[in-house]
Structure formats: C-alpha cells, structure tokens
Structure 1
C-alpha cells in the first residue's frame, strides 16, 4: 500500500511540473475576479514583473497566481542562459518564439513569471535565476523558502518578514 501511495504522490508532483511546462507559453486564461490586492513575498502590493515581454499567467505583466494556475507561476525571475538551457532540458523551451500563442521567446536579462516548482528545481540544480522579490507573489511561499528567494534577489530588503514553513 505504501508503494502505491508513493507512486501516486510522485505522479501528482510530475503532473504539476508537466502542467507548468505546458502552461508557460500557452494562451492566457480568462481573468478571474479578485477582491483583494495581490501581495508579494514582502507582504507589500505585488509589482509588475514585465510588460515587454508581457508576462504572468494572466498575461497582465504581474506574477499573479490565478485560481486555476496549477503551476503557481508566481516567481518573477531574471532570465539567464544557464536557466534557459536548464528549463529547456526539462521540456519547457522558453527561448523559441511561438506566434500562435503570442509567446515571443525569451532572452537573457528579460523578466518572466516562472513556476515555483521549476524555480526550486533550478535551485536544487545550482542554476536558479535571480528574482525580483517585489514582483514575486506571496503565494509561492507555500512551497518555497523566502530565504532562498532572498539569496537570489536583485532587490534584497534590509529585513525579511516572518514566514511560516512551506508545505513542500
């Protein structure tokens, strides 16, 4: 029974990562109504990540995590060649344009909202890109450590807010 549970758990994790790969360059979903201002990992209003190229799961420039965003595209990452090569090796090519989905293809230096799970994989592999904390959704803290993000921040704060342990 334990082996069966482990296989199901692994398949669920794999499904989430595959969902992340499939959704990154896809058409944006219909916007959902939210009554509250999204917050960043510093407990401040979420700032824009990039308007050119237009990023975000909702393609509104912000790393807002939509209700149906299974990949949790909330990390505002600064692309670099190592990360782009890594994510391509994982089956998610972020460098090749796809005119059908209005995806421009990314270059080093550009900002893009990436999956929390993909960012963690890159961290574990030693290729995590820099992040913009002010533009990274607080919702990623359900699976990422703020200290890890802060160590890779281009905008580190003087003091980090308290964070509950992620549920990884």
Structure 2
C-alpha cells in the first residue's frame, strides 16, 4: 500500500529514474508506504562525494551487486535516497542535488523544505 503520491511542493510526484530503476517499490518513483522503514523518498543526483560518504557510513551504493540485480551507482545517476541519510549528508557538507518535483512529501517529516530547496536542481 502506497501513501498518496505528492511531492514536497504539494503537486503530483514526478518519476525519479528508470535507468537505473529506483524507488522502494522499484517503480522509478520515490513512493513510500508502511513497509518502507528507510523512507526512500528523496530523489537525488549522485555525486562522487556523496557515494564515498555513503560507502564510508556503511551503505555502499557504488559497488555492483549482481545477486540483487543492482549495477551500482555512479555520479550523475538519480536515485531515491533515505531521507535521514540525505539529512546526514547535508550536515556533513556532502549532500547531493535533489529534484523537488520527484521527492515525496513524506520526506518533510525528516528534512525541512528549506534544506531541500538549498540543494534543489528544480525551482518551485
């Protein structure tokens, strides 16, 4: 069961990425629901700096894991990040850029809108 698909601007949630396919539901959108304990709701464009930080913090997103059908991410890929990890990256000065139109409104329970806007690639 998915929560209503609205973005942080209160509009219809836009797709994040289908190449690579992302999202908790692997539907290309940063949708969420009760089973998504990590709140994979921030549509972010990967950077080498963020990928290195994530790996250092224990979530290696850059190494391929074929057994899970995961090719590994590289700078420029868009991916649905956990809201708390995005906030942590912001606090560490390594936050990636985000697409507000593709970032689920549930993110606002963890990350204030002004912080998201600080890293936004799209306006409102």
The two structures have a TM-score, normalised by structure 1, of: 0.72
User: Which of 25, 33, 48 is 1:66 aligned to?
Assistant: 33
Measured in 2, the distance between the counterparts of 1:90 and 1:66 equals 25
- Unpaired runs of 5+ in structure 1? 1-31, 158-168
Measured in 2, the distance between the counterparts of 1:128 and 1:151 equals 10
Measured in 2, the distance between the counterparts of 1:108 and 1:73 equals 19
User: Which of 92, 111, 116 is 2:78 aligned to?
Assistant: 111
Aligned residues: 124
- Unpaired runs of 5+ in structure 2? none
Task: Determine the structure 2 residue equivalent to 1:137.
Answer: 104
Structure having the larger proportion of residues in helix: 1
Which structure has the greater CA radius of gyration? 1
Matches within 5 A, 1:14-163: 32=1, 34=2, 37-157=4-124
Structure having the larger proportion of residues in strand: 2
Runs of 4+ in 1 over 3 A off after TM superposition: none
Considering only aligned residues, what root-mean-square deviation do their CA atoms show, in Å?
1.0
The two structures have a TM-score, normalised by structure 2, of: 0.97
Measured in 1, the distance between the counterparts of 2:33 and 2:65 equals 23
Task: Determine the structure 2 residue equivalent to 1:6.
Answer: none
